[in-house]
Structure 1
Amino acid sequence: MRCPFCAHDNSQVKDSRPSEDGTSIRRRRQCEGCGARFTTFERVQLRDLTVVKRDGKREPFDREKLRRAIGHSTRKRDVTAERVDQLVSGVQRQLETQGDEVTSVQIGEAVMAGLKTIDHVAYIRFASIYRDFTDPADFAEIAERVEKEGVPANQDKLL
């Protein structure tokens, strides 16, 4: 593993343990060149995913981009970073079972389904961007629909 500080090619694993949600392994490493310590995460990847955007462009699936998008929706809400990571892992596993190419629509729908079980406000925030709300009535409509369906049954429910 290349050192992020000095770009030396070799590092030594000092500690290795599973993450809290069990979907990755956290490794503490020490650079053999400069002695700096850093952390890496290892995750299972079933396949390389390609995202087909609405305009037809293709790009590699970016887990961090998905995490940031969900993070914007959950900002200042009672949703932990671990819960966001669980949602991202669940969405990624779901997408990997669908094939090598997934559409941005499939990703958006999977995220919305997950957010709906976690936090209704985060769900509405994400929907406002994903569905491109242009009118206050769009917010009222989705809020009314969410209110009819009730409060998330179990906010700690795993995907």
Structure 2
Amino acid sequence: MRCPFCGHAESQVKDSRPSEDGAAIRRRRLCPECGGRFTTFERVQLRELTILKRSGRRTPFEREKLVRSIAVATRKRPIEPDRVERMINGIVRQLESQGETELPSSVVGEMVMKALKSLDEVAYVRYASVYRDFRQTEDFAKFLSDEGLSEDGVVEVE
């Protein structure tokens, strides 16, 4: 593994252990060149996924991009980080087990929306506002009423 500090091509593994959910191996590494210490994670990848964007462009699936977008939606919300990590792992496993190597970005977006809705309504609405490209306050109001959510955050039952 290349050192992120000095770029040296090799590093030594000082400690390995499974992550909290057992879906990854956490490795503490030491660079013999500069002495820098860093952590890497090793995960199983069932298949290489390609995401087909709305524009028609194809890009490789990046788990970290998924993590960042969910982190923005869940920022400052009372959600345990391990619940978010389990949700992300579940989404990635679902994507990899679809049987397809090329998936439309809408599939990823809808999976995230569904998972966030059951996790935290505020995070769900935050993600939806970006994913559905809300432009005006009326877009929020329409979305909230379509989803059975009131504007004051109380779920309406029909």
Q: Normalising by structure 1, what TM-score?
A: 0.86
Matches within 5 A, 1:20-99: 20-98=20-98, 99=100
The aligned amino acid for 2:77 is: R
Matches within 5 A, 1:139-150: 139-144=140-145, 145-146=148-149, 147-148=155-156
Unaligned 5+ residue runs, structure 2?
150-154
Cross-structure match for 1:121: 122
Cross-structure match for 1:103: 104
Unaligned 5+ residue runs, structure 1?
150-159
The aligned amino acid for 2:90 is: G
Tell me, in whole angstroms, the C-alpha distance in 1 between the residues paired with 2:4 and 2:136: 46
CA drift of 1:91 comes to 1.0
Q: How many residues align?
A: 149
Query: Over aligned residue pairs, what C-alpha RMSD do you find?
Result: 1.5
SS of corresponding position for 1:29: strand
Cross-structure match for 2:3: 3
Tell me, in whole angstroms, the C-alpha distance in 2 between the residues paired with 1:135 and 1:6: 47
What's the CA shift string for 1:22-54, capped at 9, x where partnerless? 211100011122222110000110011100001
SS of corresponding position for 2:156: helix
Tell me, in whole angstroms, the C-alpha distance in 1 between the residues paired with 2:84 and 2:132: 21
What's the CA shift string for 1:55-77, capped at 9, x where partnerless? 11100111111111111111111
Matches within 5 A, 1:6-17: 6-17=6-17
CA drift of 1:135 comes to 3.6
| % same residue | 58
Tell me, in whole angstroms, the C-alpha distance in 1 between the residues paired with 2:11 and 2:101: 32
Q: Which has the higher contact order (CA 8 A, sep 6+)?
A: 1
Q: Normalising by structure 2, what TM-score?
A: 0.87
